[in-house]
Every structure is written in C-alpha cells, then in structure tokens.
Chains A and B, each alone.
Chain A
Amino acid sequence: MDAKKITAVWLLLVAMTCISWALVAFSSQDVDSLGNSSGGMLLILLLAVSFIKVRVIMRSFMEIGTSPAWLKWAGDAWVLLTPAALYFLLVG
C-alpha cells in the first residue's frame, strides 16, 4: 500500500465510526418492561458497520489481502462467524 491508500483507508474507517456514533445518537429505541429493544435493525446495522471495519483493517493494515489464501480464509471466518454468533446471542 502507498501513503495515499493508507490515508484513504484511515478516512474510511473514521467515517464509518462517525456513522455508528450518529446512528445511536440520532435514533430512538423503545424498550419494553422486559428489556426488549425495538432497535433490531439498528443492531444489525451496528454489527455490519463494525465487522466491515474489522475486515478493512485485516485486509489493508494487517496486509491479509496480499497474504496466502489460508490467512484470508481464517480472517474471513472470524469476520463472519463472530457477528453471526453475537446477533443470535443478543437477540436470543
């Protein structure tokens, strides 16, 4: 990666962080007496934005994108399985 690409990746990650921040700051979620939240779609969006950021960090900064295939598969497995498990455990 050259300096321009590194800067572009950093700006993308900063922008995505601001999106997550704004999503929560400007959204309203109702919670019932049992603690069930109405923000199911927001949860999916937050998980998606976070793990897209994780994949961007892995592929660019950690240079997994130019690494052997087994490392790409290992990275992608973590990026897919972790949010899937978190979603099902959080929503229950």
Chain B
Amino acid sequence: MNPEDIRYHKEHTWVKVSGRKGTIGITDYAQDALGDIVYVDLPEVDTTVEANSEITEIESTKATSSVISPVSGRIIEINEELSESPEIINEDPYVKGWIAVIEMENHSEIDDLMDASEYEKYVEEESK
C-alpha cells in the first residue's frame, strides 16, 4: 500500500513534506518495475533541482532510469547509505529508501501532485 501522508508525481516519485522540507524517493511501483537496484547516482548536497526534471539516475539490473524530482529547491541532505546499499530502495522505498531532502522553493508545487488514491488509480491506468 502507498502511504497516505505523502504526495506522488506521475514519474513515480514521491515527496513527504514537513514544513519547507521535502523528502523524496521513488515509489513501490517504480522499484518493482526497475527490479534489483544496483546503483544510485546520488546528487550533491547544495545543488538545486527543478520540479519535473532529473535529480538523479538509478541503475537496476534491468535499466538505467532518471529520477524526476516532484518539487523544486535546494538539496540539503542525501541518503548516503544508498551508495553502499542501493537495494534499500527495493526493500523499503518509502522510509529507509529515501533519496534526498530538498528545501522547497515553492510550496504550491505540492498541489500539482497526486494523493495516494489518485496515484493508485494512475498506476492502474498506466499498467493497462
């Protein structure tokens, strides 16, 4: 089940908002579609990222895929653990498998994102 307290982007990423901070990661659907993740090209702290653009790339045994940021802002923290153990994303995409924390520029971007039930419907449509 996809958690209720986070927002979802159509490129299968999520953001959990807490004040101005947004923690982002990829969804369970995305990790399942990618298969075993072997490498996360972690972004650098202090770089800025635009919503709907690539924040990093993930390599799985099947593919190399862009991770699209759901929000704009400055990266203030990255999940260093992923550099040693990228498979954490497969095991726990919504909690331990977070990728980065972004200091958000524009809170209203959240409104463009989907909630859990909308995302579930979206995934159902997409996989038809």
Do A and B originate from a single complex? no
- Interface residues, chain A, with chain B CB atoms under 8 Å away: none
